[in-house]
Amino acid sequence: MAPISTPDAPFGRVLTAMVTPFTADGALDLDGAQALATHLVDAGNDGIVVNGTTGESPTTSDAEKDRLVRAVAEAVGNRAHVVAGVGTNDTRHSAELARQAERAGASGLLVVTPYYNKPPQEGLYQHFTTVADATGLPVMLYDIPGRSGVAIDTETLVRLGDHPRIVANKDAKGDLAAASWTVSRSGLAWYSGEDMLNLPLLSIGAVGFVSVVAHLVTPELRAMLEAYTGGDVAKAAEIHQRLLPVYTGVFRAQGVVTTKAALALRGLPAGPVRLPLVGLDPAQTDQLRKDLAAGGVHL
């Protein structure tokens, strides 16, 4: 079965921003990554995002990133989109990572706003178009000012939408007004990058989700999306409300940490996090169990 894509949803509709499994001693666990990616696609994901924030990209080497893309593409690339995170705060480095991901078998690229150096809007525009020009792969922008320190302005997103390979935006800006204007003007396929806003973003034109909680509730997210697009807004809202404790619980602590803890409790590949992240303490683990149980996820 080929990966699902349509002109309005070029990467499919439900994608998991996948954690990177490590072994007990902190090494890359490629067997675990393949098993987890297979589990997620079997659960209903149209795509897997690797080497993103949730994949602990700040603490994996370029060589590890390459090996991870190759492993996941081998496991699920014939059934799902494999979108490789290649964003850094160095344009030349990002372009090289893009070329590396293309060679490794990625079907798309996720390019986050450069962080820490806070470039002006023209710098953002040139950064993203330079990376997009480096390969023949479609690009999903990633607008997350809470982590990057600078937002991609509406006018910049509209300009970027004119690039033939910049086809989508992962929105973690938390600004529904800005998203509404940009969706209406840019032509970019809009993906929710903030789980609590999955349903609200659908209401202003989003086509799908790049989700962290999809590690745990992919069927529920698909059901919510299908209810909404099928016209049953009340059912979609009911599912959204049922998932609120899951959204809250996964992000009560750092999302990678809680997700890996939940996966481990389910017997799925995850392993430890790498410093400077640290695992949950017993009280936090107990709270996570309670939050997820309140949302129907029993570990």
Per this entry, what is the length of the chain? 299
pLDDT of residue 49: 98
108-141 pLDDT, tens digit each: 999 999 999 999 999 999 999 999 999 999 999 9
In terms of DSSP H, where are the helices of the chain? 30-43, 62-76, 91-104, 121-133, 145-148, 154-160, 176-186, 198-203, 214-229, 233-250, 255-265, 282-294
* Mean predicted lDDT score pLDDT of the chain: 97
Under 8 Å CB-to-CB from 31, ≥6 apart: which residues? 269
Rg (CA), the chain: 18
pLDDT of residue 234: 98
Q: Is 142 a catalytic residue?
A: yes
Mean pLDDT within 257-282: 98
Query: Is 215 a residue whose pLDDT tops 90?
Result: yes
Query: Is 1 a residue whose pLDDT tops 80?
Result: no
HSE-up (13 A, CA, CB side) for residue 232: 11
- What percent of the chain has pLDDT above 90? 97
Q: Is 170 a catalytic residue?
A: yes
Query: Is 242 a residue whose pLDDT tops 80?
Result: yes
pLDDT of residue 298: 86
pLDDT of residue 281: 97
Catalytic residue among 125, 142, 191, 247: 142
16-44 pLDDT, tens digit each: 999 999 999 999 999 999 999 999 999 99
136-186 pLDDT, tens digit each: 999 999 999 999 999 999 999 999 999 999 999 999 999 999 999 999 999
> pTM for the full model?
0.97
Catalytic residue among 65, 116, 125, 170: 170
pLDDT of residue 299: 82
